[in-house]
Amino acid sequence: MLQQTTVQAVLPYYARFMSAFPTLAALAGARLSDVLAAWSGLGYYRRARHLHAAALQIVRRHGGRFPRRLEEALALPGVGRYTAGAVLSIAYGERLPVVDGNVARVLSRLFLLRGPRTAASGRELWARADDLVNATDSPGDLNQALMELGATLCTPRSPSCPATRPPAAPRCSCRRSAG
């Protein structure tokens, strides 16, 4: 629900959705039309369709538990590298990186990576994220911290890190560039 939607906008939808489908089995057992109705107003209905289809696969093929293997997670509808890395690192402690727009901004500033986003720069960001996640004992915590840092302090415009002085601030390029 949070893809391309703010937390504030999602909160009432999330509460309604979880009330209607409190478990994965409840979501998997629901009619797609009911899932879409509960999602109504959020837009991006393809996400709801993927969520429902993934719930069905998880219940049928994985005993109702999100798969622990990357290949199996990536085989779920709507699950890509970012989502698989986030779930597997946070839920199971797997050493998998995440790179979304917020994390890309944090890493670009931290490692002084400049220039337009290209396939090559994307590979560089994933490699840097992979290095970081492999250097920590808590990959899920690291990934959550990078996502939160990018969403709250290391924002696209007017980053707050010079004022709040998080641990990476001395290395961060946001003092020199807000981009």
CATH number of the CATH domain containing 142: 1.10.1670.10
Same domain, 68 and 108: no
In a domain, 176, yes or no: no
| CATH of residue 64 | 1.10.340.30
Give a yes or no: residue 25 inside a domain.
Answer: yes
Separation of CA 11 from chain center: 17
* Structural domain harbouring 73: 7-79
pLDDT for 166 beyond 70: no
Closest CA to 27 of 2, 5, 60, 3: 60
Q: Which pLDDT belongs to residue 173?
A: 66
Residue 179 — very low, low, confident or very high, per pLDDT cuts 50/70/90?
A: very low
Q: How far apart are CA 167 and CA 177, in angstroms?
A: 18
For the cut 70, the answer to whether the pLDDT of residue 171 exceeds it is no
Asked if the structure places residue 170 within a domain, the reply is no
pLDDT in tens, 36-86: 999 999 989 999 999 999 999 999 999 999 999 999 999 999 999 999 999
Do residue 107 and residue 151 come from a single domain? Answer: yes
Q: How many residues does the chain have?
A: 179
Q: How many domains does the chain have?
A: 2
Asked, for residue 86, whether it belongs to a domain, the answer is: no
Are 145 and 108 contained in the same domain? yes
- pLDDT tops 80 at residue 168: no
> What's the pTM value of the predicted model, to 2 decimals?
0.86
In a domain, 152, yes or no: yes
Confidence band for 4, pLDDT divided at 50, 70 and 90: confident
Q: Average pLDDT, whole number, for the chain?
A: 91
